[in-house]
């Protein structure tokens, strides 16, 4: 008999409450909410500065970023936050014995297609975060935590867009 091993995850309601506590603590301790896209921007600016410093001096985007963030962009608190997320996720997976190098996907698609869609989604999400001046963590969660109308609108559009597009992309997961 082929027995299916059920993976145990945290209860989503407890996870949501814990996320809320972390968000509250971030606001209380640092005076700022959570976010991720700023860490990626810091890494990109730092990388381009190492590879092509003259480009950073001449391009308006990099100039504006460097002027608004003096010093080393990698010393931003968002970079340390994201490092904590990566290390915490790795430790969580290690303690739960879920560390595996595999691509999870529906039997209806290949691993290659799943990776392509994931990369394309990540790029589009990053572009949208740049246009929207923040990712879901910064714009929606942190915005809603301080009762910002923009935070509520952002969250509504994130879920509304996901709901509208889910029908077209569901075969990649179901």
DSSP one-letter string for 24-90: HHHHHHHSS---SHHHHHHHHHHHHHHH-HHHHHH-HHHHHHHHHS-S-GGGSHHHHHHHHHHHHHH
pLDDT of residue 62: 85
- b vs e for 109-142, b when ≥16 Cβ sit within 10 Å of the residue's Cβ? eeeeebeeeeeeeeeeebebbeebebbbbbbbbb
| Calpha distance 174→159 (Å, rounded) | 19
pLDDT of residue 7: 65
The secondary structure of residue 5, as a DSSP letter, is P
pLDDT of residue 51: 92
Q: How many CB atoms lie within 10 A of CB 173?
A: 13
Q: Which domain holds residue 42?
A: 7-100
Same domain, 69 and 122: no
Same domain, 70 and 134: no
All residues at 6 or more sequence positions from 72 whose CB lies less than 8 Å from its CB, including other chains: 46
* 1 belongs to a structural domain: no
pLDDT of residue 5: 65
pTM of the model: 0.70
pLDDT of the chain, 174 residues: tens digit per residue: 556 566 677 888 998 899 889 888 888 887 877 878 788 888 888 888 889 988 888 888 888 888 887 888 888 888 888 899 899 989 988 888 888 888 877 788 888 988 898 899 888 888 888 777 777 777 888 888 888 898 898 889 888 988 998 888 877 776
* 91 belongs to a structural domain: yes
Same domain, 78 and 112: no
Same domain, 69 and 36: yes
pLDDT of residue 122: 86
* 74 belongs to a structural domain: yes
3-state secondary structure of 100: coil
* 2 belongs to a structural domain: no
Same domain, 128 and 141: yes
| Calpha distance 11→147 (Å, rounded) | 26
pLDDT of residue 93: 86
Same domain, 113 and 165: yes
| Alpha-carbon torsion (139, 123, 93, 43), positive or negative | negative
Q: Which of 68, 100, 132 is the last residue of a domain?
A: 100
Q: Which of 79, 100, 121 is the last residue of a domain?
A: 100
pLDDT of residue 2: 56
């Amino acid at each position: 008999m082929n027995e299916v091993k059920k993976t145990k995850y945290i209860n989503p309601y407890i996870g949501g409450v814990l996320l809320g506590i972390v968000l509250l603590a971030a606001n209380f301790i640092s005076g700022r909410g959570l976010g991720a896209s700023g860490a990626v921007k810091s890494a990109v600016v730092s990388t381009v500065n190492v590879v092509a410093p003259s480009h950073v001096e001449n391009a308006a985007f990099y100039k504006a970023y460097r002027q608004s963030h003096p010093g080393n962009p990698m010393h931003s608190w968002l970079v340390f936050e994201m490092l904590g997320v990566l290390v915490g996720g790795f430790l969580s997976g290690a303690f739960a014995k879920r560390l595996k190098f595999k691509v999870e996907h529906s039997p209806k698609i290949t691993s290659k297609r799943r990776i392509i869609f994931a990369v394309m989604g990540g790029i589009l999400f990053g572009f949208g975060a740049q246009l929207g001046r923040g990712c879901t963590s910064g714009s929606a969660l942190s915005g809603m935590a301080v009762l910002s109308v923009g935070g509520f609108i952002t969250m509504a559009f994130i879920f509304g867009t996901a709901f509208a597009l889910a029908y077209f992309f569901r075969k990649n997961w179901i």
